């Protein structure tokens, strides 16, 4: 389904019973709501599960230009407003994880529990340069050129070697990402910082990360240490897209955190 919010048509899906607590899932760069299929299936018996495609992804509008990261926050907030959701749990991975933390800092009154996955929630000069290089490659050669390099970054080498079926699902999502959406969101990822204000967050937060997600575990442990009362869980053997690498363990960590409320 689609709904107009913050000036664009946002694609979303709702599963689960009316009246149940809301949980929102926000996708990473170059994926879609399909990345959350297993979590939605597992949680829809107890929660009203809302998944949406971030700006420029899936079936959501993909305006041309570079997106400020605060625009992605405004999209999420606009979606809650359009669907008349007063308060929700909010979970996001990578780009979605930074979205989750940014909302927790700016709009805590709209959120209950926050789950930040596989995101240091801030850009670095080196990272910004890498994003600009990927933008240039995508603009010159198209999204297909980014498929295998992205898979190699996102998943542990042993997982890529085994090539389980869900990797083809991820490949398809990367391939289908609109070029303008990739460029816009990659620009947002090249220039954002929600980590600096993490200590100001007043809502319960779970930092959840794949053990083999490069520098992310160390960065997210630091976020956890700066935010009193937060939780930190690393998933053994998981890479960047930890919810697809270790779906059962990921969902269990999410459910335990939500049930603690």
Digit-coded pLDDT (tens) for 138-195: 999 999 999 999 999 999 999 999 999 999 999 999 999 999 999 999 999 999 999 9
In contact, 101 and 116? CB cutoff 8 Å: yes
In contact, 173 and 35? CB cutoff 8 Å: yes
Residue 85 CB-density burial (10 A; 0-12 exposed, 13-18 middle, 19+ buried)? middle
In contact, 38 and 251? CB cutoff 8 Å: yes
| This prediction's pTM | 0.98
Digit-coded pLDDT (tens) for 222-260: 999 999 999 999 999 999 999 999 999 999 999 999 999
Distance CA 53, CA 128 (A): 23
In the chain, where the domains are located = 2-259
Give the residue from 186, 196, 182, 53 showing the smallest Cα distance to 121: 196
The DSSP string of 134-181 is HHHHHHHH-THHHHHHHHHHHS-HHHHHH--HHHHHHHHHHHHS-HHH
The DSSP string of 28-65 is PTT--GGGGHHHHHHHTTTSEEEEE--TTSTTS---SS
Count CB atoms within 10 A of the CB of residue 113.
22
Which of these CATH numbers, 3.40.1710.10, 3.40.50.1820, 3.40.50.620, 3.40.50.720, describes 2-259?
3.40.50.1820
In contact, 95 and 54? CB cutoff 8 Å: yes
pLDDT of residue 261: 72
Digit-coded pLDDT (tens) for 101-125: 999 999 999 999 999 999 999 999 9
Owner of token pair 């993490």 = 198
Distance CA 76, CA 79 (A): 5
Digit-coded pLDDT (tens) for 53-93: 999 999 999 999 999 999 999 999 999 999 999 999 999 99
Count CB atoms within 10 A of the CB of residue 256.
12
Digit-coded pLDDT (tens) for 32-42: 999 999 999 99
The tally of CA atoms less than 13 A away on the side-chain side of residue 211 is 7
Digit-coded pLDDT (tens) for 191-225: 999 999 999 999 999 999 999 999 999 999 999 99
Helix pair 144-154, 165-176: axis angle to 10 deg: 140
């Amino acid at each position: 389904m689609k709904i107009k919010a913050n000036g664009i048509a946002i694609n979303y899906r709702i599963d689960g019973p009316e009246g149940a607590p809301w949980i929102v899932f926000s996708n990473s760069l170059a994926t879609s709501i399909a990345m959350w299929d297993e979590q939605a299936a597992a949680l829809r018996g107890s929660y009203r599960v809302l998944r949406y495609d971030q700006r420029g992804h899936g079936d959501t509008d993909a305006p041309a230009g570079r997106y400020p990261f605060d625009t992605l926050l405004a999209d999420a907030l606009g979606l809650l407003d359009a669907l008349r959701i007063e308060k929700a749990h909010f979970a996001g991975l990578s780009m979605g994880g930074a979205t989750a933390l940014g909302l927790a800092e700016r709009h805590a009154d709209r959120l209950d529990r926050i789950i930040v996955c596989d995101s240091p929630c801030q850009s670095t000069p080196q990272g910004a340069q890498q994003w600009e290089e990927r933008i240039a490659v995508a603009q010159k050669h198209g999204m297909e050129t980014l498929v295998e390099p992205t898979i190699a970054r996102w998943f542990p080498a042993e997982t890529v070697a085994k090539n389980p079926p869900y990797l083809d699902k991820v490949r398809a999502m990367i391939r289908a990402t609109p070029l303008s959406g990739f460029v816009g969101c990659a620009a947002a990822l090249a220039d954002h910082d929600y980590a600096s204000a993490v200590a100001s967050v007043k809502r319960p937060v779970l930092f959840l990360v794949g053990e083999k997600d490069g520098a992310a575990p160390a960065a997210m442990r630091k976020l956890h240490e700066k935010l009193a009362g937060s939780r930190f869980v690393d998933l053994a053997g998981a890479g960047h897209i930890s919810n697809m690498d270790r779906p059962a363990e990921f969902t269990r960590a999410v459910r335990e955190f939500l049930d603690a409320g």
